[in-house]
Amino acid sequence: MKAASKQNALLGISIFLVFLSTGFSFNSGVQWFWQKAPYLALLFIVTGFVLIRWWMLLELQKQREAIMEAMQHPHKKNWNDLLSVREREVMQLIASGKTNQQIADELFVALSTVKTHINNIYKILEVKNRREAIEKVTPKNK
């Protein structure tokens, strides 16, 4: 069973158990389930939280594996995945040769906003100027 399907199953069971523990019956008026069997309700809640904890550990493991994969294969980085939608738009305009003011006018934002996006792009791409950023995101034809 894949980690994603394990996580979905764990999350579903956990939510079901937590809701089950707070159920009620209408037999003799509205009566909460835990009033009749408090230990059973507590068992459902604790089991639900244990399963959620297990789910979180699986998620953490998935993230660690993704980070290790990215570290082992830095040449396979897809820079578009690291940039936000707006940063990608700004990067495309930079690559087309637009100035900061032209980018601001085209995107209907302040010049300072464009400068902030460009600084974020530089940090994410680990570059110092436009030329390096364009070289890094432009696919090389071999």
- What is the Cα–Cα distance from 97 to 94, expressed in whole angstroms? 5
**Alpha carbon separation from 77 to 66, 73, 141 (Å, rounded):** 12, 7, 16
Residue 41's pLDDT is: 72
Q: Is 3 within 8 Å of 62 (Cβ atoms)?
A: yes
Percent of the chain having pLDDT more than 90?
29
pTM above 0.75, yes or no: no
Range ranked top by mean pLDDT from 38-47, 60-69, 89-98: 89-98
CATH of 79-137, one of 3.40.50.1780, 3.40.50.720, 2.60.120.260, 1.10.10.10: 1.10.10.10
- What is the Cα–Cα distance from 66 to 60, expressed in whole angstroms? 10
